[in-house]
Chain A
Amino acid sequence: MTTAISLVRENTETMQPPRALWVSFPLGRPLGKPGDAGFQHRVIAASLDLLTRQAGPVLVDYPEDAPTVDIKTAPACPVSFSKPATDTDTWKAALLNELQTLTPWYDLGRRRRKGRTLVGISNFSMTENLEKLGQLLDDEILPVSELNWFKRAIEDAKVFYLEALTAQPGDYNQEQLQKILWNDTAIGAAILKFNDMFLANTELSSFARIIAPRNVAPRNVPTRTTNKD
């Protein structure tokens, strides 16, 4: 027997699994709130309670919303991106410059999380990944023969940045974090540049959808010197 958490009620309504608890929490957060054992236990208890139902399918709405974080009370971003990324001539230099700025914050966050980090699915270091990504952009080349590495390097970079930006304890405003990542950083601009390059490639245009959310792309990407200039 199964009992499921449902994040998209409409999907669950049509597929009719035996027992499901729909929660109004954001995608990515099926238990509602990180670090809050009491909140998580209430969700689990409601889900396990469905196992006692005598007939189904059962789809129950969980009554509690996840707490939202006001942008005014959220911790400030610890990193200053005051030096415009466009000051750095090449993508490679811009990305490595930013990595140097962020590394102490990433390390601090990792220590606070007792060593926990999501970085590492690419099996290459951040320096190796950013050097290679920067070089690809400087040469205006898509990594067509290394798409698996590319996707994992992009995911490693995004979580590295987000873990650095959330190095200090506190409840963060997700919208604010995403705005910083996509609007203020060289890596955000780099991913969107790749996004544009994939969109322009007939055979690989669908790949753009799995590197950047569509609500942040396309946008104006800073111009840098490339080896084709």
Chain B
Amino acid sequence: MVRLRDLPDYERKHLLSKNLPPLGPPAWTPLTKSLSELRIALITTAGLHFRDDPAFEFADSTFRPISGNEDANYLVMSHSSVNFDKTGFSEDVNLVFPIDRFRELEAEHKIGSLADVHYSFMGAGLNPEAYEASASQVAGLLKQDKVDAVFLTPV
């Protein structure tokens, strides 16, 4: 288990420096249908992409699409941080990008459907404001895909 108090002093200070105020007024969207009807997309800040896609730069506010039709086992990670362990993700893509779990939920009709395309950002080196343009672009793409809800994972 890892809590801030268990981390080295420099790492704790580094993570606490990321304590930032809210980006704007509170955003709240109430649920208007049951979970079993929701169309869900996955978005991660883990710097994932397929090997043929451009790797992320050291600080990079762009995003990579992850098609639901492709085999997620071929995803790689070009996150610039060295302060987390990658062996778990080597072992199982679902540890960071739980696409197989969500496919199981879809097959069991516990959620409505999965988005056609999911998205990956690389969350290091920049403050949240730097992602505004690309995040807005992804929001538009999610609307086109008729996505109701997004499951967000950090790394």
Within the complex, the shortest CB–CB distance from A202 to chain B, in Å, comes to: 18
- Shortest beta-carbon distance, B134 to chain A, in Å? 16
Q: From known contacts A5-B154, A40-B95, infer whether A26 and B2 are also in contact, taking CB-CB under 8 Å.
A: yes
Known: A55-B28, A68-B1. A31 touches B94 (CB 8 A): yes
Q: How far is the CA of A1 from the CA of B90 in the complex (A)?
A: 30
A117 and B58 form a contact (CB under 8 A): no
Asked whether A79 is an interface residue with its Cβ less than 8 Å from the other chain, the reply is: no
Closest chain B residue, CB of each to CB of A43: B98
Contact present for A28 and B86 (CB under 8 Å): yes
Chain B nearest CB from A57 CB (Å) reads 6
Q: Within 8 Å CB of B73, what residues of A?
A: 114-116
Tell me the complex Cα distance, A162–B89, Å.
Answer: 11
Contacts of B151 in A (CB 8 A): 2-4, 44, 47-48
Give complex CA distance A152, B56 in Å. 10
Task: Known contacts A56-B28, A118-B77, A155-B78; decide if A31 and B96 are in contact (CB<8 Å).
Answer: yes
- B30 & A54 in contact (Cβ 8 Å cutoff): yes
Given contacts A14-B19, A15-B22, contact A210 B95 (CB under 8 A): no
| B 55-91 binary contact with A (CB < 8 Å = 1; else 0) | 1011000000000000001101110111111111111
Q: Which residues of A contact B29 (CB under 8 A)?
A: 1, 18
The distance in angstroms between the C-alpha atoms of A3 and B94, with both chains bound, is: 17
In the complex, residue of chain B having the shortest beta-carbon distance to the beta carbon of A24:
B1
Q: Tell me the total A-B contact number using a CB cutoff of 8 A.
A: 201
Q: CA–CA, A56 to B27, complex, Å?
A: 9
- Binary B-proximity of A154-184 (CB < 8 A = 1, otherwise 0): 0100110011001000001010011000000
Tell me the minimal C-beta distance from A163 to chain B in angstroms. Answer: 5
A209 contact set on B, CB distance < 8 A:
82
**Contact status A44-B15, CB under 8 Å:** no
Q: Does B155 contact A (CB under 8 A)?
A: yes
**Of the residues B15, B22, B82, B98, contact of A10 by C-beta under 8 Å:** B15
- 8 Å CB interface, A5-25 against B: 5-11, 13-18, 24-25
Complex alpha-carbon distance, A151 and B102, angstroms: 33
B23, B35, B80, B85: most-surrounded residue (chain A CB, <10 A): B85
Cβ of A144 under 8 Å from chain B: no
Q: Which residues of B contact A3 (CB under 8 A)?
A: 149-152
Contact with A along B12-25 (1 / 0, CB 8 A): 00011011111100
Question: What is the chain B residue whose CB lies nearest that of A41?
Answer: B101
Query: Bound complex: CA of A66 vs CA of B117, how far in Å?
Result: 29
Kindly list chain B residues whose C-beta atoms are within 8 Å of the C-beta of A5. 152-154
Q: Flag whether B105 is at the interface (Cβ < 8 A).
A: yes
Interchain CA distance A51-B28 in the complex, whole Å: 10
Partner of B155, one of A16, A28, A34: A28
Task: Identify the B interface with A (CB < 8 A).
Answer: 1-4, 8, 10-11, 15-16, 18-23, 26-31, 35, 38, 51, 55, 57-58, 73-74, 76-78, 80-96, 98, 100-102, 104-105, 111, 128, 148-155
11 contacts between A and B (CB under 8 A): A1-B149, A18-B26, A18-B29, A27-B2, A29-B88, A30-B155, A40-B98, A48-B111, A118-B76, A166-B87, A210-B82
Query: Which residues does A use to contact B, with CB under 8 Å?
Result: 1-11, 13-18, 24-35, 37, 40-41, 44, 47-48, 51-52, 54-57, 65-66, 68, 113-121, 147-148, 151-152, 155, 158-159, 162-163, 166, 172, 174, 177-178, 209-215
